[in-house]
Chains A and B, each alone.
Chain A
Amino acid sequence: MPPKAPAKTNALGLTREDYKGTKSTLCPGCGHDSISNQIISTTYDMGLDQHKLIKLSGIGCSSKTPAYFLGRAHAFNSVHGRMPSVATGATLANRDLIAIGVSGDGDSGSIGMGQFKHVMRRNVPMVYIIENNGVYGLTKGQFSATSDAGQTLRYYGKNELPAIDLCMEAIMGGATFVARSFSGNSKQVQTLLRAALAHKGTAVVDIISPCVTFNNTPTSNKSYDYGKANEIPLHEIELIPEGWVPDREEIAIEDYPEGEVISVRMHDGSFVRLKQAGRDHDPRSRIGALTLLENAQMEQLFITGLLYYEEPRPTLADTLRLVEAPLAHLPEEKLRPSKETLANLMTEFM
């Protein structure tokens, strides 16, 4: 037998296999599995150290997925709709950790709407992925808050309530990075995840992810067919690493006419380069992003890409004026004031 070719490795000398988790128990063909794969590819390509990552989730099909990627990272599958508070505490405990939260439309859009918005208001540094399929899967096919008005489901009939757009909610809530994608568009998902991981603040990535069992009918606007036929990417999106020197053949950023390309510098020194595809949208405009989403909702357009970006406000750890070192690593002498300090304090109460 010919010797096997050595497996490809990343900057840490690890293979893509090393970034996998256990075998998925979701339905074959689930959009969520595709997203798990994009997380594996992205973190592998970036050469991220898994021990610095944490995976957090609530309850639901989406929230099961952290078991299926990054097997060497600590994970916490918590309670329904409350993943954001767990992420808040974990990143306060250790500000060096890179948090990836995985949630769904039920987890974030219904039971967890309060925490969804407050985590952004505080600018907790994390990638907040919503695997949005417009349906409750684990409880067998109820409408969620992102199900579109008029949509029909096998058992529950017609949805007569308007949908909540989680990207709009995120922008209103104070998120500093808001993107929408489609699990069928792996290249875009990966690029957005890369940018989100480089962002210093709450980065929301709402990924429309078809539920093959309960919500993949031709009439559903969260189905594969619908997504493939109707997705309108706002721009071609690229992530340019720090210190990147453009190839001769590639067109340098400056060569684009003004307004057609937007480049956004990320916290780690890399650039997100957005080449406009027809629609004139500058993601640095909050009102522009909201108008875009409002129009998309009215005209039933499935727009994807980086919707909103702002230079991040201080993160929660900064707002609370925490020391630079992770709290969890502080030695006892930093945690317990001295005996003399207590004695002095007692005199204030005498």
Chain B
Amino acid sequence: MGVMDKELESKTSYSGKKIVNDFTLTAATRNGTGSQTSNNVLVLSLFKMGIPVNGKNLFPSNIKGLPTWYTIRASKDGYTARPSSSEVAVVFNQDTAAEDIQKLPAGGVAIVPQEWHWTHSREDIYYYEIPVDPMVKEAGIASELRERVANMVYVGAVAHLFSIPMDIIWQALLTNFSGKEKPAKINFDMVQRAYDWSVANMVKQDGFSYEPMPGGNTGKIVITGNEAAGIGTLFGGVQVVGWYPITPSTSLIDAMFDHQALRKDPETGLNTVGIMQAEDEIAAIGTIVGAGWAGARSMTATSGPGISLMAEFTGLAYYAEIPCVIWDVTRIGPSTGMPTRTSQGDLLFIHFLGHGDTRQITLLPGSVAECFEFGWRALDVAEVCQTPVFVMSDLDLGMNNWVSEPFVYPDEPINRGKTLNLETLTQFIEEKGEWWRYKDYDGDGIPYRTVPGTDHPRAAYFTRGTGHNEKAGYSERPEDWMNNLRRIERKINNTRKTLPQPVVKTMPGAKVGILSFGSNDPAILEARDRLAAEGIATDYMRVRALPLSESVMEFIRKYERVYLPENNFDGQLAQIIRLETSESTQHMVSLPLGDGLPMTAAWVVENIKKHEGK
């Protein structure tokens, strides 16, 4: 519990106050007991009531038994960041019950199984008890389903206590089970039983409730970043996917399997994308490098340890100029780290991945909509620039459910870049009298390439990671080496203008700038409102790609102080900026976090206030 949380606790009392659509519920359960369905149903129910909602799963690296917490934040003002505390706790895990209850602020609510005979250890919170085991036994549910369905009991209690209509619960269950009525019904019966019992036996004492906000979520979707990225990649025309299972990236590939029908040839029912599980991440990246070389759009998805294994191949692809896309859904490292905890700690590693002088293009999505967009766009960037393109998402963005506007269809056609086919190669040679694979004909650093299978006697070239000249011939001459690296540098530097540009939000009179990226966005947006309320106006730039846009330094120059909150231990974006500029950045304050959890607005506010002397 941070300083801020304690402050909040002492100042806030919810007793007697009516609080509508502006509180957080945390369900504490044991991993592998099916609570994900219960939590999903609650999130979907609030979504269907039109309430801005965000669900975050804080789960252990374990299949069954260890504690897991799911926080559901309802925010009438639309804030989606992780809150620093929860007002309502569903205390369904005996192992963590004491701690879960202790964490509640005064006036908070604990929902506890009656059979635990939990002593009312605090007098400043509300307890509601419900007979979970007897209720499940009475329901006559098959023993193998009991544990899973037991978690539906708290859905019923929550529905009663905080006013979620039962027909909404039913709709949410149907959505959760993709319209399948049978499993929805089994679960709904349990919810109904718990709801009826709660109506008859629980006296509402606290002031928290949900109220429908008609039209609040009309036309919106609920989706995880990984699903968005997988679907975006399929709309980007990906053709070869090589992958190896690793948390938290696996659900990105699963989403591609779930939606592979999008890419079935209607006439034959055969696939226009091959998704291959490799024997390790080295084979996964080797497969997509081979595919990119042979003219297919290719991608992989992995996380930190996988990126480590991909270093050699991505260095080769950078130097031999082969397009491919690598999604890094980051988790916290070093080493195995905490596989189910979020982080932005791979930024430096990705950007410079490969031995020798490499600078890899990296896209940084900050929302599920951008996960979709960068899904297709990364494939274009890779082929246009003939280089690997990394997309760095994270566990929070990738695995949690987010409310979003529906995704926007790609606004430009697929761009295969400077790839010559038989016809264009013939024309090229007619005009220029030659074609050399690594020669800069256009002055933009991007050469022309051919792919195998091109029926022209001069189409072939020798691809190699060894030193080569413009003609793709082996060369150890210093001039050739420098010439090639300078061209590649030119190519990468040019992308500062063409990659997704930073998003800037301003306030009148701001003397303080905030610079960040990725999934910190919700915490920063909320923090800015809170800071403004306390008299600190801020402008905010969210960087969306590396190498950095030229506008980043312009932004930094404009303010008295610029804060860089980021979710890694070393302040890696700040380091990259300091590497790139010779200007003074003494007014730039790195705010690194990196504790494994999504950033909270409270943390941002606290840190900026401290530095601002307020």
Binding site for B on A (CB under 8 A): 49-52, 54, 56, 66-67, 71-79, 82, 84-94, 96-97, 114-115, 118, 122, 316-317, 320-324, 326-330, 332, 334-337, 339, 341-343, 345-346, 349-350
Interface centre among A92, A93, A115, A332, by most chain B C-beta atoms within 10 angstroms, is A93
Q: Which of A76, A341, A346, A349 contacts B293 (CB 8 A)?
A: A76
Q: List 14 A-B contacts (CB under 8 A).
A: A56-B290, A74-B451, A77-B464, A82-B286, A84-B283, A86-B286, A89-B294, A93-B239, A93-B296, A323-B271, A327-B239, A327-B272, A346-B407, A349-B406
CB distance from A215 to the nearest CB of B (A): 24
Q: What residue of chain A has the Cβ atom nearest to residue B259's Cβ?
A: A345
CA distance A186 to B265 in the complex (A): 46
Contact B286 A89 (CB under 8 A): yes
Contact A118 B414 (CB under 8 A): no
Contact A323 B268 (CB under 8 A): yes
Contact A51 B240 (CB under 8 A): no
CB distance from B126 to the nearest CB of A (A): 34
Contact B291 A90 (CB under 8 A): yes
Contact B221 A346 (CB under 8 A): yes
Q: What residue of chain A has the Cβ atom nearest to residue B313's Cβ?
A: A79
CA distance A153 to B224 in the complex (A): 59
CB distance from A78 to the nearest CB of B (A): 7
Contact B268 A74 (CB under 8 A): no
Contact A343 B406 (CB under 8 A): yes
Cβ contacts under 8 Å, B287 to chain A: 85-86, 88-89, 92
CA distance A85 to B259 in the complex (A): 25
A322-B270 in contact given A51-B459, A78-B316, A115-B279 (Cβ < 8 Å): yes
B234 within 8 A of A: yes
A323-B272 in contact given A51-B456, A72-B457, A336-B237 (Cβ < 8 Å): yes
Contact B283 A114 (CB under 8 A): yes
Q: Which of A96, A320, A329, A345 contacts B274 (CB 8 A)?
A: A320
Cβ contacts under 8 Å, B284 to chain A: 85
Contact A334 B265 (CB under 8 A): yes
CA distance A87 to B287 in the complex (A): 7
CA distance A86 to B312 in the complex (A): 13
How many chain B residues touch A (CB < 8 A): the figure is 72
B231 within 8 A of A: yes
CB distance from A74 to the nearest CB of B (A): 4
Q: Which of A77, A328, A349 contacts B221 (CB 8 A)?
A: A349
Interface centre among B242, B270, B294, by most chain A C-beta atoms within 10 angstroms, is B294
CA distance A56 to B466 in the complex (A): 14
CB distance from B252 to the nearest CB of A (A): 16
A92-B296 in contact given A50-B460, A76-B290, A332-B413 (Cβ < 8 Å): yes
CA distance A317 to B466 in the complex (A): 31
Contact B283 A92 (CB under 8 A): no
A115-B283 in contact given A71-B460, A85-B242, A336-B410 (Cβ < 8 Å): yes
Cβ contacts under 8 Å, A328 to chain B: 239, 294-296, 451, 453
CA distance A332 to B239 in the complex (A): 11
Q: What residue of chain B has the Cβ atom nearest to residue A327's Cβ?
A: B239
Cβ contacts under 8 Å, B376 to chain A: 336
B235 within 8 A of A: yes
Cβ contacts under 8 Å, A330 to chain B: 239, 272
CA distance A82 to B413 in the complex (A): 34
Contact A51 B263 (CB under 8 A): no
Contact A73 B460 (CB under 8 A): yes
Q: What residue of chain A has the Cβ atom nearest to residue B218's Cβ?
A: A350
Binary per-residue interface labels of chain B (288-324) against chain A in the complex, 1 for a CB within 8 Å, 0 otherwise: 1111111111100000000000001100100000000
Contact B289 A86 (CB under 8 A): yes
Cβ contacts under 8 Å, A86 to chain B: 286-287, 289-290, 293
